[in-house]
Amino acid sequence: MTSPIRTERHDDVLVIISDNPPVNALGAAVRQGIDAAIEEGVADASIEAMVIRCDGRTFFAGADITEFTKPPVEPLLPTVVDIIEASSKPVVAAIHGTALGGGCEVALGCHYRIAVPSAKIGTPEVKLGLLPGAGGTQRLPRIAGVKLALELTAKGDPIPAKKALDAGLIDRLAGEDSLADDAIAFAREIKANRPIPRASEKEAKADPEAIEAFKKENARRFRGFDAPAANIACVEKAASVASFAEGIAFERQEFMRLMMGVQSAAQRHIFFAERQASKIDDVPADIKVRDIKRVGVIGAGTMGGGISMNFLSAGIPVTIVEMQAEALERGTGTIRKNYEATAAKGRMKPEQVEQAMGALKPTLNFDDLRDCDLIIEAVYEEMSVKKDIFTRLDAIAKPGAILASNTSYLDIDEIAAATARPQDVLGMHFFSPANVMKLLEVVRGEKTAGDVLATVMALAKKIKKVAVVAGVTYGFIGNRMLMPRQVEATKLLLEGATPEQIDRVHVAFGMPMGPFQMADLAGVDIGWHRDPTRIENIRDALAAENRWGQKTKAGFYDYDEKRTPSNSARVAEIIEDFRKREGVTPREINDDEIVARTLYTMVNEGALILEEGKAQRASDIDVVWIYGYGWPVYRGGPMFWAQTEGLGKVVAGLENHGFTVASSLRDAAASGGRIK
């Protein structure tokens, strides 16, 4: 087997080159090759300096994550980084693309670093529930200071080369197209410098104030996660111990603790699940997709505007249609306002705002959708309205155009039947706000063509969405699983729980908010029949009194001017009235019962969805809940969490509260298997 590492001699400089596509992952063969190449350079008396660089689109972009579940192969990455650093001849890292994770640690092990201006450097291991375990937490604060080390390790976001240069993380910027030559020239320039600068021999300056400020500033972001605290502790250790070896020992201990923990397993599960979700089981990967040059959006409201922004931001022109001039003007104004707010934060240039708005064609003429390759309907949830729109679309859309509905619940097959081209129809369920939320449920109708499905899944990547294929069922994947949670939460109110108690259990679990906080945010009146004299449930009673949630400063909670919630005496009265009406005597309800009835029931519904073939795989369900509903990533999604909770415990909890258990869930629990 040919090694992915080769060496080139440039007089007195040995260039060590990795060619391990697609991202030069630091697998066993790469590590062995680097080890051998450093040994070659050290042993050769005519070599005075070395350069490590990579072919292809990037410097080493991290460890080979597929090795995590396999037996270790020597030399391990910490050893390789130590070998580079121990070299008796200076080694220069020549960085392009990204130097991430293990790639950043290789660069830190080198004595000097040069990068092209477009390069990015970082340690994203925290996003997999880990920390940089090849000395990264110890070398970073010694080279670039405690403050930047905290940012890089505990947050995991990479920084551009210019910022790295200013912090001393890299020593020089190369020309964008002359890295190889510039790195060799730099190696010649520093070849005689002594002593050779080794990170392990530097001292990290203690900065307790910066550490405390960082913890406080990011407390909300890090809530519930184990890995950020471990990263912070390691950086803190680097700045508080004289011995590099002691810091490394602490880093290794913390790395192994995280590696063997449930949170990292959950975060790694989602890493792979997201990639798996893009695959369509029965559609060939090489199927020819349709060309989408212009997108049509019907409806310029909150959802239609947000959907349009996804395509405009990706450089795809959009025709947006409304019935009334005022609604059209308001919708396009909101799109501009959103873009200008992004530009004000420095995340867009003013010219990019104008470019996006210039690609938007607002119109009151439905016929202007004729030249669109994909048309997305984003009007309110009323089947008759949607069917009428699709009948009209069928008459004007060009042959081969894809027709999509943004429905959250309704039957895509019934909508498709309103056309003579059901093969071109599917659901594209965006989540609100559509220009921010990453999830896209792509709903496959009974007659949806394979190339239509593949086209939309590929397009999702272009507009930076995480797409999951769902079958036709009421509520698809996410909302169907949400329903039993909401039903049980309301029943628990009648039986003796309070909105605050139920919400507290969900927030403690790691959700951004509980079911009643969510109802108040979304609007208690959503889906309400609008008849204040018809009061059939607690929600009807709240809506009849104009308690529509945060927007009216009253819902399941009362709200002040800053939308801060407080428990409501009036809601307690309404709940008590319903108890009397239903003849229910309230009882003490503990947190375990709330978990069983609101979360175990979701797992059960997920198992039913899989049994019915409405989701391709259990991990797809996890992706839906992570990216669409705020399920904590460190719990890996509901189906993964059920495994860690123990399927036997889940089944017993469901049975104890009188639920019918899905047969696949019961079978998996009995056999010690997995829900697939």
What is the distance between the alpha carbons of residues 23 and 5, in angstroms, rounded to a whole number? 14
Task: Please report which helix (H) or strand (E) contains residue 15, including its range.
Answer: strand 13-18
Assign 638 to helix, strand or coil. Answer: helix
Beta strands in 560-658 (DSSP E): 565-567
The residue type at 133: G
For residue 624, how many C-alpha atoms fall within 13 Å in the half-sphere facing its CB?
A: 30
What is the distance between the alpha carbons of residues 580 and 541, in angstroms, rounded to a whole number? 14
- Tell which residue, 262, 274, 272, 234, has the closest CA to residue 129: 262
The residue type at 74: E
For residue 124, how many C-alpha atoms fall within 13 Å in the half-sphere facing its CB?
A: 17
Instruction: Express the helix, strand and coil content of the chain in percent, nearest 5 each.
Output: 50, 10, 35
φ, ψ of residue 64 to 5 degrees: the values are -85, 100
The H-assigned helical ranges of 223-285 are: 227-240, 244-259, 262-277
Bridge partners (DSSP) listed for residue 442: 428, 469
The residue type at 114: I
Name the active-site residue from 8, 40, 74, 125.
125
| Euclidean distance between the first and the last CA atom of the chain, given in angstroms as a whole number | 36
- Tell which residue, 62, 70, 73, has the closest CA to residue 136: 62
The residue type at 10: H
141 close to 149: Cβ distance less than 8 angstroms: yes
What is the distance between the alpha carbons of residues 519 and 538, in angstroms, rounded to a whole number? 12
Name the active-site residue from 8, 40, 67, 105.
105
DSSP 8-state secondary structure symbol assigned to residue 289 = P
Is 322 tagged catalytic? no
Report residue 129 as tokens: 């529930």
Is 151 tagged catalytic? no
357: exposed, middle or buried (Cβ count in 10 Å: 0-12, 13-18, 19+) = middle
φ, ψ of residue 421 to 5 degrees: the values are -135, 60
The H-assigned helical ranges of 378-523 are: 383-396, 412-416, 450-462, 478-495, 499-509, 515-522
The bridge status of strand 295-298 relative to strand 172-173 is unpaired
CA distances from 61 to 47, 57, 256, 309, 364 (A): 28, 10, 22, 30, 48
Bridge partners (DSSP) listed for residue 468: 441
φ, ψ of residue 558 to 5 degrees: the values are -95, 150
What is the distance between the alpha carbons of residues 489 and 602, in angstroms, rounded to a whole number? 12
Residues with active-site annotation: 105, 125
